[in-house]
Amino acid sequence: MAQDTFNFIVNKSQLAETKLEQATLADLNEGEVLFSIDRFALTSNNITYGVAGDMLNYWQFFPCKEGWGRIPVWGIAKVVQSRCSEVKVDSLYYGYYPMSKHLIVSPVKVGEHGFSDGAEQRQGLSPVYNQYTLMTKETGFLPEHYNHQIVYRPLFMTSFILDDYMLDNDFFGAEQIILSSASSKTAFGTAFQLQGRDKKIIGLTSGTNKAFVEKLGLYDQVLTYQEVGEIDKTISTAYIDMSGNRRVLAEVHHHLKENLVCSCGVGITHWDALDGEDPRSLPGAAPSMFFAPDQIQKRTKEWGGEVLQARIGVAWDKFVKFVDQHVQFKESLAPKAIDATYQILIKGPAPDKAYVVRFPEN
């Protein structure tokens, strides 16, 4: 019998406009699996998926009607029907989901620890995003850390590899490192990893988030976006930009000039501040985008996948202990909570909250 479901969709050209669209689930074809989503996390990273949806193909994962899109989220889902003998009903998988009640996938490359979705529209997209990992103790998933996994795991991976990339490049000769959107989980995860690297770490943030950033104790100096002029401009500096704020980017470049030896774009939390001076014409190092998969590939080749994972695992355990002292999970219930939480993220979330949306059990 046809089953009702729903999808949360957003207007691609007006991200604050949303709809909860009712739909009917198709019957499964041979080889397919039906997921019922249990919970997902929402951070500014998901808003960035929407902002960069066309440029980086994020809309392609979960297609919907013309002009609208389904923003991907990291979450946990349970297999409720399976026509793939290797994927068992009732098992839990961590991976990339839409903000929907259900998702149908076509498992390929099924192994002991998970599978990849072979759905046609997902081919050609980064394999990392097509991977579904079976959640067992052996694969490192402890029920008490499910929320940590969905909120922080994708972000901390970037923090870990970004610190490693800087180290691997001898910090491009920088003596100090500036991180913008210093209150974001990805930025302070990076600052956490940079501890002990013998570099001065400067956090740039909004006035309202300054106290939170100071309390983290990870930055040697915390400045607001209005205080860029207070950065020591006499020493070589690297800028890691999580905000994507063009005005701030220009100010940092003009302030530091030739002493800015690296300008590395990672995020766009200030997604409504993307107008400004052409980055190509700014003084100092040319702004470039950080591409985590390149560094992951390099280290996988040099260290081997197992060593890389083990190193991330050690760092992750320390980070989880740290983060719980500063950020609280805020769980709420779908479907109502989806839009409410999404709108908080669009406007700018409180840095001491980690938002998790859960679905009621059927």
* In the complex, residue closest to ligand NAP by CB: 267
Please select the residue that binds ligand NAP; options are 186, 237, 259, 263, rule is CB under 6 A.
186
> CA–CA distance from 241 to each of 82, 125, 260, 269, 310 (Å)?
43, 25, 13, 10, 28
| Cα 196 to Cα 203: distance, rounded to the nearest angstrom | 16
Q: Which is nearer to ligand NAP, 301 or 347 (CB)?
A: 347
Q: Does 243 bind ligand NAP (CB under 6 A)?
A: yes
Site for ligand NAP in 312-351 (CB under 6 A): 347-349, 351
Please select the residue that binds ligand NAP; options are 100, 106, 209, 295, rule is CB under 6 A.
209
Using CA atoms of 139, 144, 146, 151 in order, give the dihedral in degrees to the nearest 10. Answer: -120
Q: Which is nearer to ligand NAP, 44 or 116 (CB)?
A: 44
Quote the least distance from Cβ 267 to ligand NAP, whole Å: 3
Q: Does 176 bind ligand NAP (CB under 6 A)?
A: no
Residue 46: which H helix or E strand, with range? helix 44-51
Using CA atoms of 7, 357, 89, 91 in order, give the dihedral in degrees to the nearest 10. Answer: 140
Binding mask 281-310 for ligand NAP (x = CB under 6 A): ---------x-x------------------
Site for ligand NAP in 128-167 (CB under 6 A): 155, 158
Q: Does 185 bind ligand NAP (CB under 6 A)?
A: yes
| Cα 166 to Cα 174: distance, rounded to the nearest angstrom | 9
> CA–CA distance from 88 to each of 27, 74, 124, 141, 175 (Å)?
17, 21, 27, 18, 52
Q: Which two tokens stand for residue 42?
A: 């929402």
Q: How many residues bind ligand NAP (CB under 6 A)?
A: 28
| Rg of the chain taking only CA atoms, in angstroms | 21
Please select the residue that binds ligand NAP; options are 10, 33, 191, 242, rule is CB under 6 A.
242
| Cα 42 to Cα 340: distance, rounded to the nearest angstrom | 11
Contact 261, 283 (CB under 8 A): no
Place of tokens 């005005």: 247
Q: Does 48 bind ligand NAP (CB under 6 A)?
A: yes
Q: Which two tokens stand for residue 243?
A: 């905000």
Q: Does 43 bind ligand NAP (CB under 6 A)?
A: yes
Please select the residue that binds ligand NAP; options are 53, 75, 98, 267, rule is CB under 6 A.
267
Give the binding site for ligand NAP (CB under 6 A): 43-45, 48, 155, 158, 181-186, 205-206, 209, 242-243, 266-270, 290, 292, 347-349, 351
